[in-house]
Chains A and B, each alone.
Chain A
């Protein structure tokens, strides 16, 4: 089954304690992204990757890091989380532009609370 898998689904942490949210896709997609969703602000892109070892900032990258060492994995790292990073996070993947099917697939989300 084609899917994007995020872990954990729920996470409560304290300010300043480094954390990593993992994301893995099994569709051999070139593109992967992270979004956050907040009430009234909709979905905003944090970082994206168009290939292995290639990452770039989205609209709201401050306070986040990513890496793309393997095609299937795209972890999101919060080095020093703060309460304003409390949000619902989504990982997404899709085939590169130019392929016949560029449907985007999303993970089930990670609800992060920073206290």
Chain B
């Protein structure tokens, strides 16, 4: 059974720091992996999608990498800003064509203070 873990659970940093958020999964057979951002009580906003054949994806100050063999993905946030404060979730999509399911990690709550 696929399990997804995110470390750390919470992170508080001063503005301007470069950050690394970690996502680990137990089964390397994945279809793709997606990173989301969630503001308190709000919906999930897609940040980056990495397909299983890719090693990384970049969008602005965000860079996500994927290492299937070690069961890890990292989200790198450059030059963090207070507006980056949110919970970050990673989700693994299994390779099955018989189901539609995202398996979510436990999330990392990020606070960036001025």
Contact = CB atoms under 8 A, between A and B. Distances in A.
B104 A103 contact: no
Interface string A56-76: 101000000000000000000
B49 interface: yes
A9 B39 CA distance: 15
A108 B39 CA distance: 10
Interface of B: 31-32, 34, 36, 41-46, 49, 51, 89, 91, 93, 95-97, 99-102, 104-107
A42 B46 contact: no
B32 A48 contact: no
Contacts of B100: 31-33, 48-50, 94, 97
B101 to A, nearest CB: 6
A90 B43 contact: yes
Contacts, number: 61
With most chain A CB atoms within 10 A of its CB, the pick from B31, B89, B93, B99 is B99
Nearest to A106: B44
A contact patch SS: strand
Given A103-B46, A104-B93, A109-B43, 13 more contacts: A31-B100, A42-B104, A42-B105, A43-B102, A43-B104, A49-B100, A88-B41, A90-B43, A102-B51, A103-B49, A104-B91, A105-B46, A106-B45
- A-B pairs, 4 with minimum CB distance: A108-B43, A106-B44, A31-B100, A103-B49
